[in-house]
Amino acid sequence: MKNGIRFTLKPKQRPKLAQKIGKILGTAPNYERVPSCAYDIAGYRLDKEGVLHIPEGVAVEMVEHLIRQLRECGFQDDAEFTEEVPMQQDKLTIAVPRACLTDTALENLQKIITNKQTLFQKAFQTDSTEVEITEEKINFAWFPYTEDGDEIAAYTQFITGLCDMAKDAKRVSSKPTETDNDKYAFRCFLLRLGFIGNEYKTARKILLRNLTGNSAFRYEK
């Protein structure tokens, strides 16, 4: 899939497109004003010509999900879904650009992962929460392979929130978290990541479904 997708837009339709992309990705668009007049949306850039530039390393499945959602809203584009996915693939990898995290933020990210490792492994049914770091991107090969749009969106929003937390954190403990109610503990963590309100209801359900316990109460009544 090409890195730039051109949308056919009517006058004054570009801000609406930027807002819709932001809603799907779970983040607010940032308008950069002149001279670029571009919108930055979690690394995606919508330029003044209506071309959406895709960040390097983003999973093809996520881009396809994004474009399909936009098409359902009436936006027209020139994207072609031609890349094949191996039939035996059993992992979905979410990637973010390496440049989006400073060395300090990356260190914070590693500490957060160590702190929540057991919860993450249970939630995503994975044996490993290691991240692969290259010069260009950071890969999170944690998730079961899926072509379901809601699941891909939930996993992508989770990684986006995790990276935002790492960027904003001042003090982070790497001491592993111990809990006797996994679902409640992970729900609280999701709320810290910004999974609040009805717009994240489906994502919360997907991310919590493999955990045991009561998500509403820490201790059973």
For 112-142, write each residue's pLDDT tens digit. Answer: 999 999 999 999 999 889 999 988 888 899 9
DSSP 84: -
For 136-153, write each residue's pLDDT tens digit. Answer: 888 899 998 888 888 888
CB 20 within 8 A of CB 75: yes
Separation in Å, CA 111 to CA 73, 105, 165: 39, 10, 11
- Phi and psi at residue 186, to the nearest 5°: -75, -35
How far apart are the C-alpha atoms of 216 and 133, rounded to whole Å?
Answer: 36
For 147-193, write each residue's pLDDT tens digit. Answer: 888 888 889 889 988 998 998 888 877 777 777 788 999 999 999 98
